[in-house]
Amino acid sequence: MPEVWTPLLIALVGAGVFFCGVSKTAMPVLGMLSSPLLVLALTPTIAAGFVVPMLIAGDFIALALYRQHANWPLIRKLVPGVLLGFVITAIMFIYLDTALLSRLVGLIILVSVVSEIWRQRAAVREREGAPSMTNPAAFVFFGTVTGITTLAANSGSAALSMYLVRMRVPMLVFMGTSTWFFFVLNVSKVPFVLALGLITPASLLANLWFAPALVLGAFAGAFIFRRMSQVVFVRIALALSVVASIWLVIHG
């Protein structure tokens, strides 16, 4: 952890943690605003150890609000693709630059978002709702992209959000499903970050100092979520997915 906490450093980390809290209770893909701030403030290696306990703490808050709304069949459909994505990423780490892989996945997500917007507009023109996905290959595709982005760039929320938007789930089901999915995923990261020595007594102490920002963000997110309509929720999810995919394309 940093030896000296300057006001600017505290502000950057605090903002990153705040957005992390908001993402847990209002819009998962908003977490893409959190990661760049924490990386900028702490460096990628330190941020990796700092953020995991924060993510899990945020997951517990989200579970308290949305745990009963999860759609487990949707999660099960995603698991094979996620595991495949992990394998692909592990292989790519050996032969490809991680940034190149992240840029490729960002481009794939961007194309998926554009395709979804086109489908929704076509459905509006035809005066009917856009159908949900039924093709098994699509489940594998979104699972694979989620697995790759999670492992390669810690940004699986964009791909998962696109998957849930395509499945036409209500807002509460969206939040409950994504909350359980990322809770399991984040807990599974703990042995790896511990083995790498990324979680330290100093990082855990910093987690405690910034916990109020996480709680404040979570309450702000819950307040915002209760006042959003389904249409607005989906539009924000798509817009933030575009931002997330462009970020991956530019920065890797």
- Mind listing the pLDDT tens digit for each residue in 119-141? 666 555 545 455 566 677 888 88
Cβ contact 55:20 at 8 Å: yes
Cβ contact 147:184 at 8 Å: no
pTM greater than 0.75: yes
Q: What is the pLDDT of residue 38?
A: 85
- Residues 185-227: pLDDT tens digits? 888 888 878 887 888 999 999 999 999 999 999 999 999 999 9
Cβ-based neighbour number of residue 29 at 10 Å: 27
Q: What is the pLDDT of residue 132?
A: 62
Sign of CA pseudo-dihedral 225, 231, 235, 237:
positive
Q: How far is CA 185 from the centre of its chain?
A: 11
Rounded Cα distance between 38 and 51, Å, is 8
- Residues 26-60: pLDDT tens digits? 988 787 778 778 878 888 778 878 988 999 999 99
Q: What is the pLDDT of residue 46?
A: 84
Q: Which residues contact 17 (CB under 8 A, 6 or more apart)?
A: 34, 38, 54, 210, 213, 214, 217
As a whole number of Å, the CA-based R_g of the chain is 18
Cβ-based neighbour number of residue 226 at 10 Å: 11
**Closest by alpha carbon to 190, among 62, 59, 33, 27?**
59
Kindly state the average pLDDT of the residues 138-151: 80
Helix and strand element counts for the chain (H, E): 10, 0
Helical segments of 67-170, H only: 72-95, 98-125, 136-153, 157-166
Q: Quick one: pLDDT band at residue 249, thresholds 50, 70, 90?
A: confident
Q: What is the pLDDT of residue 154?
A: 61
Rounded Cα distance between 177 and 70, Å, is 4
